[in-house]
Amino acid sequence: MSAPRCLVVGAGLAGLAAALDLARQGLDVEIHESGPRAGGRCRSYFDRELDCRLDNGNHLLLSANDNALSYLQDTGAGDSLSGPNEPAFPFHDLATGERWSLRPNRLGWIFDPTRRVPGAGPGDHLAALRLAWAGSEATVAGELARRGTIYRRLWEPLTVAILNTEAEAASAALLWRVLKLTLGRGPDACRPLVVREGLSESFVTPALAKLTSRRAEIRFGSRLRRLDLADGLVRSAELGEETRALSPADRLILAVPAPVAADLLPNLTAPTKFRAILNAHFRLAPPPDAPVILGLVGGLAQWVFAKNGIVSVTVSAADAAMERDAGDLTSTLWAEVALAYGIDGGTPPPARIVKEKRATFAATPAQLRRRPGPVTAWRNLYLAGDWTDTGLPATIEGAIQSGKRAAAALLSGL
């Protein structure tokens, strides 16, 4: 039998992670990406209108993200993230003007008023334990909405940020899993981390260089149009203008969005509902005392990221805002940023509004049941992507973990 050839379709983080693990084992790896560049939703680009380099979205990692940190170490980009030495998450209530910082530690931080959510006592914080016993159909709002202040100031914004799904519909069980992997592991797992330069500089460019050093082949503009499926195998793949026959030893990892995978594979059970993310990038030097990340409650803006010469705003579960005019969104978000920063909220600086209507799958109980694992009904075909069943939401960590799981399943099958 000839040596196995591994085709990875999709050069987002899931595909790159899978390809890195396979190439490290010495396998012959080809990556096929339909677009002109790698990274998927996690990349940087030069915006000519703002005359600066932007990340296509704002991504926050935590020190608990073992798969993402391992990926960065593997590609030589382990030192490309920055963050505080201890967990600290500053918040500002736009409605009341109150400010506070959530600072979990090992010694009962919920009993320290300077470390917890103001207006909420220790019992309110401990109410999150209800999620541990929530049924598979339970939602976050159904379990925690009665807690009042802490729900509005912590659980609701945290749910939307982590799951990109409104708390009224979001899975309580999935949020609990994330809390276990972060707060449940103590403060060392909760430190916020952001890219020091850009998403591409951390997650994409070093990975491509490492793949090249491992003799992997990367082809851009190579769209998978059709798979020939017969007798439990992928027999051939129509990639661009070429039809590639697969030998019995060859393997294929499909690391594409859920709708694309569903079009290619008959009867695939995959998520069918999605949620939007809205980002606004303002060409503005942040105030010197601006925190790297600031959580906002009581307005449209949810998180503000201070970067070099850029202030970026993220609105998750943003479906209701997708039809709003860019000028209207710019004015609204700028007024909230100015209020939070305590600066002049007059004419907005140059801005770019970025809308992703189907940014992630909807993290509802019904959609979670539609997430497939890496192994498929076809013996030489595996799935990767943050929409597959990783046990995590659609995040950088989930995407990388999915790629690693697909690669592990493929190697096990060999």
pLDDT higher than threshold 50 for residue 274: yes
Q: Looking at residues 239-264, what average pLDDT do you find?
A: 95
Q: In the prediction, which pLDDT does 4 show? A: 81
pLDDT for residue 321: 97
Mean predicted confidence (pLDDT) in 26-43: 96
**What is the arithmetic mean of pLDDT over 30-52?**
95
d(CA 281, CA 311): 6
As a whole number, the mean pLDDT across the chain is 96
208 touches 201 (CB < 8 A): no
> What is the predicted pLDDT for the residue at 148?
86
Looking at residue 153, its amino acid is R
pLDDT digits 0-9 by tens, 217-236: 999 999 999 999 999 999 99
Q: Enumerate residues 6+ apart whose C-beta is below 8 A from 220.
A: 11, 33, 35, 36, 37, 38
> 382: helix, coil or strand?
strand
Task: Give helix 66-75 / helix 205-213 axis angle, nearest 10°.
Answer: 60
Name, in order, each residue with C-beta under 8 angstroms of 114's C-beta and a sequence gap of 6 or more.
103
Q: What is the pLDDT of residue 53?
A: 93
**Predicted confidence (pLDDT) at residue 279 exceeds the cutoff of 50:** yes
> What pLDDT does 189 receive?
96
pLDDT tier at 2, thresholds 50, 70, 90:
low
**How many other C-beta atoms lie within 10 A of the C-beta of residue 325?**
9
pLDDT band at 132 (very low <50, low <70, confident <90, very high): very high
Q: What is the pLDDT of residue 51?
A: 93
Q: Domains for the chain: give ranges and CATH numbers.
A: 5-45+199-270+364-413 (3.50.50.60), 113-185 (no CATH)
Q: Is 338 exposed, middle or buried (0-12, 13-18, 19+ CB in 10 A)?
A: middle
pLDDT digit string (tens) for 304-342? 999 889 999 999 999 999 999 999 999 999 999 999 999
- From CA 287, how far away is CA 306, in angstroms rounded? 9
pLDDT at residue 174 tops 50: yes
Statement: residue 1 has pLDDT above 50: no
Per-residue pLDDT for 162 more than 80? yes
- At residue 404, the pLDDT reads 98
| Cα distances (Å, whole numbers) of residue 295 to 73, 269, 290, 383 | 29, 36, 12, 35
pLDDT mean over 198-224: 97
pLDDT over 90, % of the chain: 93
Q: Is the pLDDT of residue 107 over 60?
A: yes
pLDDT for 106 equals: 83
DSSP codes, 289-355: T--SEEEEESSS--EEEEETTEEEEEEES-GGGTTS-HHHHHHHHHHHHHHHHTS--SSPPSEEEEE
* pTM to 2 decimal places: 0.96
Q: Which pLDDT band, with edges at 50, 70 and 90, does 147 fall under?
A: confident
d(CA 245, CA 253): 15
Alpha carbon 380 to its chain's center: 28
In terms of Cα–Cα distance, which of 109, 105, 107, 54 is closest to 84?
Answer: 105
